Structures are given as structure tokens and as C-alpha cells.
Amino acid sequence: MAGDNPSTETKNQEVNKNIQEVQTFEQNTELDSSQKVESNTELSEDNASVNRDIQSAEPTSQKEAYELLQTQLESTEFQLEEKESQYKRLGADFENFRKRTQKEKEDLNTQVKCSTIIELLPVIDNFERARSQIKPANDGEMAIHKSYQTVYKQMVDSLKRLGVSPMRPEGQEFDPNLHEAVMRETTEEYPEGTIIEELVRGYILGDRVLRHSMVKVATAPESTDAEAENQIDPET
């Protein structure tokens, strides 16, 4: 028995040692598990914080993007309004330029036409004088008379097509804008200021006077001495 005790003690020591090792291993295992749990917990908290930051940052970036797009839209609309305004101004300026150019062109054409017609009026006057003064005496003279009167008629018709019309002032009141008084005649047949006779024919083109009509104008007769005496008061 005495020889077996040392062996038993040795075994008990080994068993105790093994138990201690197992306990130490279990403790180490529990510590590692708790550290892992703490590490996982910290990691989850970090992820949650990051997610919160992302969630809080997304609305801010969307708002900034919306404000940026809104600013760009307003700038584009402003530029579009400016372009439209410039286009309208250019259109109005071009229309005014076109009208002004057209009017200047028409005025120039009218001036050229008037100048040309004025140069032809003395020819018309000569044809009219010939018609009123020449009296053909035979068939030959009548043939000549008819031939140049045909030319005269062609010229008058051409002037009518151009818009030229002669004045017919006889019996009208004298108008210095249309007529030129070269003679005056005292008469009781017409009221004073009435045109008695046209001496040189006047012509108009539209509302333009190509040549004033030279006319004879009626004037009132002067009162005689007898009439003056009758107008005196008898009491005087």
C-alpha cells in the first residue's frame, strides 16, 4: 500500500493539472467569444453610423442638385427671353428698314416719272395750240392735221396710263396750291376769285402737282361815283 501511494498522488496531480488546463482553455474560449461579440457589436454600431451618415447626406446632395438645376433652368430661361427680345427687335428694325426702303424707292420712282413727264408737257402744249390754231384748207392739210393729232392722242393716252390728269379749273375758286393767276378781269358775271379761263393747262400726278394751271381770275368791279353818292347818308 505504501508503495502505491506515490503513484496515486502522481495521478491525482496529473488529473488536477488537466482540469486546470481545461478550465484555462474554457476561460480563454469564453474571453475570445466575448471579444468577438464586442467586436461584432462595435462593427455593427459603426455600420449603423455610416448608414445614418449616408442617409443624412443623400437628401442634402439631392437638394443641392435640385437647386443647381433650378438655377441653370432660370439662367436658360433668361437667356431665351433675351434672345427672343433681340429677335423681335431685329424683326421690327428690319420691317421698318424694309418699309422705309420701299417708300424711298417709290418716292424716287415718282420723282423720276414726274421729271420725265414735266419735260414732255411743252410738247403736249404745242400739239394743243396747233389743233386750235391750224385750220386745214384742203384734203392734204387735213391728212397732215389728222396724222399729228393721232400722235397727240397717243401721248395723252400714255400720260393717262401713267396716272397723269389735266386740271379743269374753269368755274372753280382760285387755289394758289393748284393755280397761278396771270390775269385778272373785272366782271359781274362771276363771283370774285372765280377762275374765268385757263390759259395754260395744269397737270397733276396723283396728289402731286406737275405744273400749276395758269388762269384768268374774276375780280369785283369798283363802285362808281353815283353808287358812292347813294351810299352817303341823306342827313349829311
Homologous superfamily assigned to 165-224: Head domain of nucleotide exchange factor GrpE (2.30.22.10)
Q: Rounded CA gap, 214 and 179, in Å?
A: 6
Q: Name the DSSP letter for residue 219.
A: E
| Long-range CB contacts for residues 107-115, cutoff 8 Å, separation at least 24 | 110/205, 110/206, 110/208, 113/162, 113/205, 114/205, 114/208, 114/210
Predicted structure pTM score = 0.55
Instruction: Give the angle 109-113-115 at the CA atoms, nearest 5°.
Output: 120
> How does residue 174 score in pLDDT terms, banded at 50, 70 and 90?
very high
State the amino acid at position 67 in one-letter form: E
- Among 172, 69, 17, 22, which Cα is nearest to 9's? 17
Contact 183, 150 (CB under 8 A): no
Q: What is the 3-state secondary structure (H, E, C) of 59-107?
A: HHHHHHHHHHHHHHHHHHHHHHHHHHHHHHHHHHHHHHHHHHHHHHHHH
> How does residue 211 score in pLDDT terms, banded at 50, 70 and 90?
very high
Least confident of 92-106, 136-150, 160-174: 136-150
Residue 106 in this model has a pLDDT that exceeds 50: yes
